[in-house]
């Protein structure tokens, strides 16, 4: 198939010529599959997303070795049928959730760039002045940054000093951009999902990550489906008389990490959550198991909040009673 509007149109015309009910199953490759996904949805087609976790199993079970477009297409179809079309999240046109996700991803890339630049600059400063003691993130703040800038300006302008001054200038620019992005993200998430910001343990960046990665709670028919997509629902691993579950290491790890941050913060600061964890430990669960149970409650809360109107508020204590 030719990639682009002409190729997509030819593919759609061929599918419609079959004169059958259609569901398009696309591997959730974000930027790679996004163009085709938007093309189909804009023309009234139903599109579901197949996670890479599901794809891994079908690829291993395939009798045909190697990799090609035909092999991948067959694996996507088999994975979608095995999982069940109604259980897969439905794709939708881009909205403010995508803008939020792009902003969050952009900020995270800049943070990684700043960390790498800061590490290099710290080594240069140590080479110049071994006695200088700087906290790891001190150069992100104006006080320390100005102090080091003055010291570099007074020093002999060797090549290492010149490079350090340039690195410090770029570090300042990155910090300003990151701070501006954080402000913009906070304003955007406050307009899209202010109900999340009222919950304990949920800051603007965590809320933005959840809104952007979930991309519409309506795509998931229940909180259990969202929990499964995020890798939070435990997987049955029973055998014979032994009844047990194991941790799901698949799913959307971005959502999983955001929920984990909320759980850890609540376990440290929220009194209701502390009582919940103590109750689970009294039942014989370890602290780690109690946190996993808590994450399952939190994902249910997040699903309800994202589906509810903006003015609706859900009391966390009501979600921790079971």
Distance from C-alpha of 136 to C-alpha of 81, rounded to nearest angstrom: 50
Q: Are 91 and 75 within 8 A, CB to CB?
A: no
Helical pair 142-154 and 159-192, crossing angle rounded to 10 deg: 160
Does an H or E element contain 250, and which?
none
Distance from C-alpha of 236 to C-alpha of 100, rounded to nearest angstrom: 35
- Tell me: the pLDDT tens digits for 38-65? 888 888 888 888 877 677 666 666 656 6
- Tell me: the pLDDT tens digits for 173-225? 999 999 999 999 999 999 999 999 999 999 999 999 999 988 888 878 889 98
Say whether 45 sits in a helix, a strand or coil: coil
Tokens 């960046």 map to which residue?
205
Q: Are 178 and 114 within 8 A, CB to CB?
A: yes
- Tell me: the pLDDT tens digits for 273-312? 999 999 999 999 889 889 999 999 999 999 999 987 643 3
Burial class (CB in 10 A: 0-12, 13-18, 19+), 153: exposed
Q: Does pTM top 0.85 for this prediction? A: no
Say whether 239 sits in a helix, a strand or coil: strand
- The CA-based angle 84-85-88, given to 5 degrees, is 95
């Amino acid at each position: 198939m030719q990639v682009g509007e002409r190729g997509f149109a030819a593919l759609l015309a061929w599918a419609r010529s079959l004169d059958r009910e259609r569901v398009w199953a696309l591997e959730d490759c974000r930027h790679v599959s996004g163009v085709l996904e938007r093309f189909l949805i804009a023309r009234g087609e139903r599109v579901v997303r197949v996670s890479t976790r599901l794809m891994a199993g079908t690829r291993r079970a395939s009798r045909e070795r190697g990799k090609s477009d035909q092999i991948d297409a067959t694996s996507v179809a088999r994975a979608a049928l095995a999982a069940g079309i109604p259980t897969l999240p439905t794709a939708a046109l881009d909205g403010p959730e995508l803008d939020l996700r792009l902003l969050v991803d952009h900020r995270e890339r800049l943070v990684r760039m700043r960390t790498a630049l800061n590490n290099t600059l710290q080594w240069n400063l140590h080479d110049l002045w071994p006695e200088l003691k700087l906290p790891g993130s001190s150069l992100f703040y104006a006080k320390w940054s100005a102090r080091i800038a003055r010291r570099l300006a007074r020093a002999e302008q060797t090549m290492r000093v010149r490079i350090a001054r340039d690195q410090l200038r770029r570090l300042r620019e990155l910090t300003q951009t990151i701070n501006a992005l954080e402000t913009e993200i906070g304003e955007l998430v406050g307009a899209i999902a202010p109900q999340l910001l009222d919950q304990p343990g949920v800051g603007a960046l965590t809320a933005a990550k959840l809104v952007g990665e979930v991309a519409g709670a309506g795509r998931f028919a229940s909180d259990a489906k969202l929990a499964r997509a995020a890798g939070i629902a435990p997987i049955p691993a029973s055998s014979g008389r032994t009844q047990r579950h194991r941790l799901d290491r698949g799913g959307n790890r971005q959502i999983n990490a955001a929920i984990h941050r909320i759980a850890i913060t609540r376990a440290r600061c929220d009194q209701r959550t502390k009582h919940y964890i103590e109750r689970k430990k009294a039942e014989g669960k370890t602290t780690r198991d109690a946190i996993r149970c808590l994450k399952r409650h939190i994902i249910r809360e997040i699903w309800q909040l994202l589906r509810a109107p903006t003015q609706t508020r859900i009391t966390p204590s009501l979600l921790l009673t079971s």
